[in-house]
Structure 1
Amino acid sequence: MPHGDDLDARFNELVAQIDTEEQRKMRAAAKRGAKERDSGGEFGVSPGRHPGVADPYRRPRRAGRAWLAMAGITIMIAAAGLVVMYRPDLLAPMGPVPEETMPVMGAPLPDEPEPTEAAAATADPAAGPFAGSPAEDWAEGADGFVIPKAKALGGLSKKDVAKGLERTRELLAAAYLDKKTLLGGKPDAFYRLLHPDQRRWFRDGLDDKKDSTRSMVNSFAPKTAELATGVIKVKGRATLGTFKDKYGTRGVKVMLNHVIVYAVQRPGQPRTATRVATHAVNEVWIYDDDDGVTTWVWEFGASATPARCDVPDGFIHPVYEDSPQDKVGPTGIPVDPYDLDAKEPDGCQAAQET
């Protein structure tokens, strides 16, 4: 792979070919695109309103918010059909997104030999797919979902808060660990844990091609991935606060911040194994109403790295080293996908390698 200085020089030479006016147009086009992707507003269309809760049906978050990383840090500029990459050898023809099970391979660099079976395999398979990554020493599965200790708050007793926190932990496990959901199946586990007034909205929105409620859970698009290991790494934190809406309802809000990391591969192709990190920043409300203690999903969803940005169907479309070119280029300074404090992506955020 070329050295950093060579990459910078090549990139600057290409950018220099774009005059000032064209760069201005490109920036304007990028801003318009971001506005169009987020034009759904703060809330989605509400099929109804839960008593006392203001507009609770929030717009799904994954569409247009995926992070991207492939073959190291990749930087792209896209405007008027122009795509500039540090690795032009990995460019694939533009057009309809091919099946992820039909990879497009780039030619090897002149100074790189053809990969062999031995070279393609993990150097130390016994070390596991998380070896050498920040997630190596993280907790496994539900043990990583940190939930605060219950206490009397927001007009609720300690017992009622504890009940809501337990349901919150179950929602996290159903959204991010349930194997059926992860592999693109019906997210029944998450559906059953929702408040009855949210279930129909969630179910009916699963097939929405623009703002699918599928993005509330982590689901790899069918035929694009299988788990390379049953181990899922999780790290995070959660805090308690209070809320009071304009109707006078008050209670406890649980603010959740977790990174969940999976090892996945193309179905039946272990040589393609890669890590996908998802950053979930969510909020759940706990309050008392006529039905007793209610746990209400206020905001749920996650961004994924590396994942395609150009398929806004609510599924995660993982990016492998040999994947075809994404039609939506990432923007911004590449962020660390393992960083809990990383800013939530606005549009397609560039990210470091997982």
Structure 2
Amino acid sequence: MPHGDDLDQRFNELVAQIDAEQQRKMRAAAKKGAKESRRARGDELERLRREARREAAWEPGWEAPPPRRRMRRGWLAVAGMAAVLAAAGAVVSLRPDLLAPAGPVPEETMPVAAAPLPSQTGADTGPEDTSGGPFAGSEAESWAEGAAGFVMPEAKAIGGLSKEDVAEGIARTRDLLAAAHLDRETLMGGEPKAFMKLLPPKERPWFREHLDREGPGDTRWWVTSFAPGTAEQVGDVIKVRGRTKLTSFELDGREGAKLEADYIIVHAVRRPGQPDTTIRLLTRKRGTFLVYREAGELVVWVRQSGGYATPARCDMDGGFIHPSYDDSTPSTKSPVGDPVDPYELDGPQPKYNCQASTGT
């Protein structure tokens, strides 16, 4: 052929061989592909628009939230600092000599009270009438028994929490107080399993790690424990009187309800196997509990715990209470300051690390 292959003619002949139905299907497929491509581009544009709208909705003055992984680490870091603060509060409350300079200790601390001084008070540290029980003749005789003495405030919506959440937080706080100060295994110097079981999952390992550790970080101070082998409980009754205050709090980006507990707890104890050594031993326990929601879960965090005991030795280290019986050898650390009444909930509090009480 003088002009070579006629490509247009050959293409037209090829197309002519395709019937009308097949041509319709090919045109439909082409239109569908173009439509899906436009939809994909439209979805991507809409995603970008949504992100832009979300960024524009952030409150002025707030930083953009960090990625999820960094946020989780941030909460853990905050939780760790809160636990450290709680331990520091317990140390200042119970052992101010470890952190405070020489001289009087601020009133808000909770130093260990010494056994009463007979020369000052003439009071007997033992029960006046054991025939009526170990609490007969004392102010604690008419007090509530056990967990019933942990009187709690009425629940209400506060700190962004519902009334139901606050009621649950109050119930858990009461359980924590009972486990810390009434559980027999804990009282006798054992591992405070009942208390640890009730701690938030993020606080529990920290408490266990610092339990019975030498120095100011000993979390044994958070619970009531007599030094192993120094005491046994007389009967099953423990007397309790006190109160808990409910307020709101905001801390480290959290908000919720704050419960401030303040209770006097009276134990009847004796030297193991020696009934004639029975005494009433008082502990004053104060604690702060934070109730809030995190990741959809209700948390009750032990923020602070402290207290004092009488009659107890002042010359022993550690978080265990060493009862001072009538026949105990004199403490090598003498009490200072005016005697305080350990039964008085609203009276003057001990100002020194080792101060006398007026009797139990």
Q: How far apart are residue 325 of structure 1 and its match?
A: 1.6
Residue aligned with 1:229, SS: coil
- Pick one of 139, 151, 155 that aligns with 1:150: 155
Deviation at 1:123, TM superposition (A): 7.1
SS of the residue corresponding to residue 317 of structure 2 reads: coil
Match of 1:140 in 2: 145
Q: Distance in 2 between matches of 1:122 and 1:166?
A: 33
1:235 matches 2:241: yes
**1-structure distance, mates of 2:212, 2:283:** 22
Report the equivalent of 1:40.
none
Question: Aligned partners of 2:227, 2:167: CA distance in 1, in Å?
Answer: 35
- Look up the SS of the partner of 2:202 in the other structure: helix
Query: In the alignment, what sits opposite 2:331?
Result: 326
CA contact (8 A) 2:145 2:237 kept: yes
Q: Give the structure 2 partner of residue 62 of structure 1.
A: 94
Structure with the bigger RCO (C-alpha within 8 Å, sep 6+) is: 1
Helix, strand or coil at the partner of 2:263: strand
Structure 1 CA distance, aligned partners of 2:350 and 2:300?
24
In the alignment, the residues of structure 1 paired with residue 206 and residue 352 of structure 2 have an alpha-carbon distance, to the nearest angstrom, of 25
Distance 1:146 1:260, change over 3 A: same
Matching of residue 339 in structure 1 with residue 344 in structure 2: yes
Mark the runs of 5 or more structure 2 residues left unpaired by the alignment.
1-75, 97-110
Query: Alignment partner for residue 49 of structure 1, among 78, 92, 111?
Result: 78
Secondary structure at 2:87's aligned position in 1?
coil
- Structure 2: which amino acid aligns with 1:244? E
CA–CA distance in 1 between the matches of 2:288 and 2:149? 17
The answer on 1:300 being equivalent to 2:316 is no
Structure-1 residue corresponding to 2:25:
none
Partner of 2:228: 222
Structure-2 separation of matches of 1:329 and 1:51: 37
SS at match of 2:94: coil
Q: After the TM superposition, which residues 203-214 of structure 1 pair with which residues of structure 2 at under 5 Å, given as runs?
A: 203-211=208-216, 212-214=218-220
Give the Cα–Cα distance (whole angstroms) in 2 for the partners of residues 234 and 284 of structure 1: 19
Count of aligned positions: 263
Do the aligned residues in 2 keep the contact of 1:331 with 1:349 (CA within 8 Å)? yes
Map 1:1-354 to 2 at 5 A.
48-50=77-79, 56-59=85-88, 60=90, 61-63=93-95, 65-70=111-116, 72=118, 124-211=129-216, 212-245=218-251, 247-341=252-346, 342-343=348-349, 345-354=351-360
Residue 94 of structure 2 contacts residue 307 of structure 2 at CA under 8 Å; is this kept in 1? yes
3-state SS, counterpart of residue 317 of structure 1: coil
> C-alpha distance in 1, partners of 2:343/2:332?
25
Moved more, 283-292 or 222-231: 283-292
Report the CA distance shift for 1:345/1:316 in structure 2 as closer, same or farther (over 3 A).
farther
Return the offset for 1:278: 0.4
Q: Say if 1:260 and 1:186 are closer, same or farther in 2 by CA, change over 3 A.
A: same
Higher helix share: 2
* TM-score normalized by the length of structure 2: 0.68
| Alpha-carbon distance between aligned partners in 1 of 2:215 and 2:85, rounded to the nearest angstrom | 19
Q: Structure 1 residue 194: deviation in Å?
A: 0.7
Report sequence identity in percent: 47
Larger Rg: 2
